[in-house]
Amino acid sequence: MKKFLKLSFTAVIVILAVGSISSCKKNFDNPPAYVDPNLVANTTIKSLKALHQTSGAFDAVSTDIIISGIVVANDKSGNFYKEIYIQDATGAIALELDATNLYTAYAVGRTVFVKCNGLTLSDYHSFPQLGMKDNSVPGVPSLGGIPSTLISTYVFAGASGNAVPVTVVSNYAALNSSSGNAAMQDTLLGRLIRLDNYEFTKSNLSQTYADTSAYKNSINLTINNCSGNSLYVRSSGYANFAGLYPVAGNGSIYGIYTIYKASSSSTPDKQLIIRDTSDVQMTGARCNLFEEDFGALTTADNNTDFAFSGWKNIAPNSTANYKNSVFGTTGKVVKVTAFGTALATDTAWLITPAIVIPAGATPKFSFTTSYQFALGPTALHAFISTNYNGSNTPGTATWTQLTTNTMIPGNTATNNSSSFSPFAGTGDIPLNAYAGQTVYIAWKYIGSVPLKTTNFEIDDIRITRQ
Amino acid sequence: MLKLKSTLLATLLFFAFAPAAFSQVKEKPVTDTTITEEVKESALDNIPVVSLDDNDGQDGSAQNISGQLNAGRNPFSDAANFHFSAVRFRIRGYDADLNSTYINGAPMESLDNGFTPYGQWGGLNDVLRSKESGLGMQSLKFSFGNIGGATSIDARASKQFKQTKISYSLSNRNYVHRFMITHSTGFNKKGWAFSFSGSRRWAEEGFTDGTYYDGWSFYTGIDKKFNSNHMLSFVVFGAPTENGRQGASTQEMDNIAGSNFYNPYWGYQNGKKRNASIAKTFQPVGILTHDWKITPKTSLLTAASYSLGNRSTTGLDWYNAPDPRPDYYRYLPSYEEEPVLAAQILNALQNDVNKRQINWDALYNANYANNQTIHNVNGVSGNDVSGRRSVYIVEERVVHTNKFNLNTTLNTSINSHIDFSAGASYESQRNNYYKKVNDLLGGAFYVDVNQFAERDYGVNSNATQNDVNKPNRILGTGDKFGYDYNINIQKATAWAQAVVKFSKLNFFVGVEHSYTQFWRVGYTRNGLYPDNSYGTSKRQDFYNYSAKAGVSYKLKSGNYFFINGSYLTKAPFFENAYLSVRTRDFVQGNLRSENIESVEGGYVLNSPRVRFRATGYYTKFRNQLNVITAYSDIDRTFVNYALSNIGKTHAGVELGVDVKLYKGLSLNAAAAIGRYYYDTRQNVVVTSDNNALVLPSNDPTIYSKNFRVATPQEAYTVGLNYRSPKYWFVNVNFNYFDQMWLGFDPLRRTAAAVDGLVPDSKEWRKVIDQTELPAQSTLDAFAGYSWLMNNRFKSLKKRTFMTFSLGVNNILNNTNIVTGGFEQLRFDYQHLNLDKFPPKLFYAYGLNFSANIGLRF
Of B97, B92, B123, residue with least CA distance to B108? B97
User: Position B196: which residue type?
Assistant: F
Cβ(B197)–Cβ(B126) below 8 Å: yes
Rounded to whole angstroms, how far apart are CA atoms A373 and A110? Answer: 66
Rounded to whole angstroms, how far apart are CA atoms B327 and B324? Answer: 9
Tell me which CATH code domain A292-464 carries. Answer: 2.60.120.200
For residue B299, pLDDT beyond 80: yes
Structure confidence by residue, pLDDT tens digits, B650-698? 999 999 999 999 888 999 999 999 999 999 999 888 887 766 566 656 6
Of B70, B75, B61, residue with least CA distance to B42? B70
For residue B7, pLDDT beyond 70: no
User: Position B124: which residue type?
Assistant: L
Looking at chain A, the domain(s) classified CATH 2.40.50 span 45-157, 167-285
Cβ(B45)–Cβ(B38) below 8 Å: no
Bond prior to B296 in cis (omega within 30° of 0):
no
Three-class secondary structure of residue A324 per DSSP:
strand
Contact partners, residue B680, CB within 8 Å, separation at least 6: B622, B645, B646, B647, B704, B705
Instruction: Tell me whether A12 touches chain B (CB under 8 Å).
Output: yes
Instruction: Tell me whether A107 touches chain B (CB under 8 Å).
Output: yes
Contact partners, residue B691, CB within 8 Å, separation at least 6: B528
Structure confidence by residue, pLDDT tens digits, A71-96? 999 999 999 999 999 999 999 999 99
Q: Domain A167-285 falls in which CATH fold?
A: OB fold (Dihydrolipoamide Acetyltransferase, E2P) (2.40.50)
Rounded average pLDDT over A42-69: 93
Cβ-count burial of B318 within 10 angstroms (0-12 exposed, 13-18 middle, 19+ buried)?
buried
Of B387, B396, B481, B394, residue with least CA distance to B443? B387
Answer whether A24 sits within 8 Å of B344, measured CB to CB: no
The pLDDT assigned to B50 comes to: 41
Angle of CA points A461, A462, A464, to nearest 5°: 175
CATH class of A45-157: mainly beta
Residue B355 has its nearest CB partner, among A1, A29, A149, at A149
For residue A128, pLDDT beyond 50: yes
Q: Which of B188, B190, B194 to mutate to test the interface with A (most CBs of A within 10 A)?
A: B194
For residue A221, pLDDT beyond 70: yes
pLDDT band at B8 (very low <50, low <70, confident <90, very high): very low
Treating both helix axes as pointing N-terminal to C-terminal, what angle do B75-82 and B31-45 enclose, rounded to 10 degrees? 40
Answer whether B360 sits within 8 Å of A34, measured CB to CB: no
The pLDDT assigned to A64 comes to: 94
CB atoms within 10 A of CB B525: 20
The pLDDT assigned to B406 comes to: 97
How far A33 CA lies from chain B's nearest CA (Å)? 6
For residue A169, pLDDT beyond 90: yes
Segment of A14-18, A353-357, B830-834 carrying the highest mean pLDDT: A353-357
How far B645 CA lies from chain A's nearest CA (Å)? 37
Contact partners, residue B665, CB within 8 Å, separation at least 6: B720, B721, B722
Rounded to whole angstroms, how far apart are CA atoms A286 and A249? Answer: 6
Flag whether the pTM goes above 0.95: no
How far A82 CA lies from chain B's nearest CA (Å)? 12
For residue B33, pLDDT beyond 50: no
Of A252, A257, A254, residue with least CA distance to A268? A257
Contact partners, residue B212, CB within 8 Å, separation at least 6: A24, A26, B203, B204, B205, B206, B243, B244, B275
Rounded to whole angstroms, how far apart are CA atoms B341 and B347? Answer: 10
Rounded average pLDDT over A166-178: 86
Instruction: Tell me whether A35 touches chain B (CB under 8 Å).
Output: no
Rounded average pLDDT over B792-812: 87
**Which residues on A lie below 8 Å from B272 (Cβ)?**
26, 28
Q: DSSP E strands: which ranges in B589-699? A: 594-606, 610-632, 637-662, 665-678, 682-688, 691-694
Residue B488: beta bridge partners?
B430, B519
Lowest model confidence (mean pLDDT) among B27-36, B397-406, B433-442:
B27-36
Bond prior to A409 in cis (omega within 30° of 0):
no
The pLDDT assigned to A383 comes to: 92
Q: Which of A108, A149, A150 to mutate to test the interface with B (most CBs of B within 10 A)?
A: A149
Q: In this structure, what DSSP letter does residue A36 have?
A: -
The pLDDT assigned to A344 comes to: 59
Rounded average pLDDT over A375-401: 86
For residue B378, pLDDT beyond 90: no
Question: Is B610 or A378 the better-scoring residue by pLDDT?
Answer: B610
* Mean per-residue pLDDT of chain A: 87
Residue B322 has its nearest CB partner, among A4, A100, A150, at A100
Of B63, B65, B62, residue with least CA distance to B84? B65
Answer whether A101 sits within 8 Å of B321, measured CB to CB: yes
Structure confidence by residue, pLDDT tens digits, B262-297? 999 999 998 899 999 999 999 999 999 999 999 999
In degrees and rounded to multiples of 5, residue B790 shows phi and psi of -60, -25
Structure confidence by residue, pLDDT tens digits, B720-747? 999 888 888 899 999 999 999 988 888 7
Dihedral in degrees, nearest 10, Cα atoms A105, A106, A107, A111: 130
CATH class of B14-319+390-440+476-856: mainly beta
Rounded average pLDDT over B611-639: 82
Structure confidence by residue, pLDDT tens digits, B200-235? 999 988 888 899 999 999 999 999 999 889 999 999
Cβ(B552)–Cβ(B507) below 8 Å: yes
- How distant, in Å, are the alpha carbons of A339, B133, B295 from that of B654? 100, 17, 40
Rounded average pLDDT over B592-612: 93
Residue A24 has its nearest CB partner, among B179, B192, B214, at B214
Cβ(B593)–Cβ(B542) below 8 Å: yes
Percent of chain A with pLDDT over 90: 46
Rounded average pLDDT over A37-58: 92
**Which residues on B lie below 8 Å from A29 (Cβ)?**
269-270
For residue B9, pLDDT beyond 50: no
How far B714 CA lies from chain A's nearest CA (Å)? 41
How far B348 CA lies from chain A's nearest CA (Å)? 7
Of B143, B142, B304, residue with least CA distance to B234? B304
Contact partners, residue B692, CB within 8 Å, separation at least 6: B529, B584, B586
The pLDDT assigned to A175 comes to: 86
Listing DSSP states for A216-242 in one string gives ---EEEEEEETTS-EEEEEE-TTSTTT
Listing DSSP states for B166-233 in one string gives EEEEEESSS-SEEEEEEEEEEE-TTSEEEEEEEEEEEESS-SSTT--EEEEEEEEEEEEE-SSSEEEE
Q: Which of B181, B319, B392, B439 to mutate to test the interface with A (most CBs of A within 10 A)?
A: B181
Rounded to whole angstroms, how far apart are CA atoms B319 and A98? Answer: 19
Locate all alpha helices (DSSP H) within A44-106, ordered by sequence.
Answer: 45-49
Listing DSSP states for B464-507 in one string gives GBS-TTS-SEEE-TT-EEEEEEEEEEEEEEEEEEEEEE-SSEEE
**Which residues on B lie below 8 Å from A144 (Cβ)?**
338
Rounded to whole angstroms, how far apart are CA atoms B74 and B98? Answer: 19
Three-class secondary structure of residue A409 per DSSP:
helix
In degrees and rounded to multiples of 5, residue A319 shows phi and psi of -65, -25
pLDDT band at B68 (very low <50, low <70, confident <90, very high): very low
- What end-to-end distance do the CA atoms of chain B give, in Å? 40
The pLDDT assigned to A174 comes to: 87
Instruction: Tell me whether A27 touches chain B (CB under 8 Å).
Output: no
Answer whether B341 sits within 8 Å of A153, measured CB to CB: no
* Mean per-residue pLDDT of chain B: 85
pLDDT band at A98 (very low <50, low <70, confident <90, very high): very high
Answer whether A147 sits within 8 Å of B391, measured CB to CB: no
The pLDDT assigned to B1 comes to: 36
How far B180 CA lies from chain A's nearest CA (Å)? 8
For residue B480, pLDDT beyond 50: yes
CB atoms within 10 A of CB A450: 10
Lowest model confidence (mean pLDDT) among A370-379, B188-197, B259-268, B491-500:
A370-379
Rounded to whole angstroms, how far apart are CA atoms B737 and B725? Answer: 34
Rounded to whole angstroms, how far apart are CA atoms A155 and A157? Answer: 7
The pLDDT assigned to A176 comes to: 67
Answer whether B369 sits within 8 Å of A104, measured CB to CB: yes
pLDDT band at B34 (very low <50, low <70, confident <90, very high): low
Instruction: Tell me whether A60 touches chain B (CB under 8 Å).
Output: no
Rounded average pLDDT over B389-402: 94
Of A406, A410, A437, residue with least CA distance to A422? A410
Rounded average pLDDT over B549-563: 89
Rounded to whole angstroms, how far apart are CA atoms A130 and A61? Answer: 10
Report the complex ipTM: 0.79
For residue B51, pLDDT beyond 80: no
Percent of chain B with pLDDT over 70: 88
For residue B308, give the H/E element and its range. Answer: strand B298-318
Structure confidence by residue, pLDDT tens digits, B103-135? 999 999 999 888 888 888 888 988 998 888 888
Instruction: Tell me whether A18 touches chain B (CB under 8 Å).
Output: yes
For residue B548, pLDDT beyond 70: yes
Question: Is B67 or B249 the better-scoring residue by pLDDT?
Answer: B249
Lowest model confidence (mean pLDDT) among B176-185, B536-545, B700-709:
B700-709
For residue A6, give the H/E element and its range. Answer: helix A2-22
**Which residues on B lie below 8 Å from A24 (Cβ)?**
202, 204, 212, 214
Cβ(B328)–Cβ(B425) below 8 Å: no
| Closest Cα in chain A to B365 | A33
How far B210 CA lies from chain A's nearest CA (Å)? 13
Question: Strand A127-131 relative to strand A91-98: parallel, antiparallel, unpaired?
Answer: parallel
The pLDDT assigned to A94 comes to: 96
Q: Which of A104, A119, A213 to mutate to test the interface with B (most CBs of B within 10 A)?
A: A104
Q: How many residue contacts between A and B have a Cβ separation below 8 Å?
A: 112
Cα–chain-centroid distance for residue A45?
Answer: 28
Sorted by where each begins, the domain ranges of chain B are 14-319+390-440+476-856
Structure confidence by residue, pLDDT tens digits, A138-151? 878 889 999 999 99
Angle of CA points A286, A291, A296, to nearest 5°: 105
Q: Which of B183, B334, B352, B464 to mutate to test the interface with A (most CBs of A within 10 A)?
A: B183
Rounded to whole angstroms, how far apart are CA atoms A444 and B554? Answer: 118
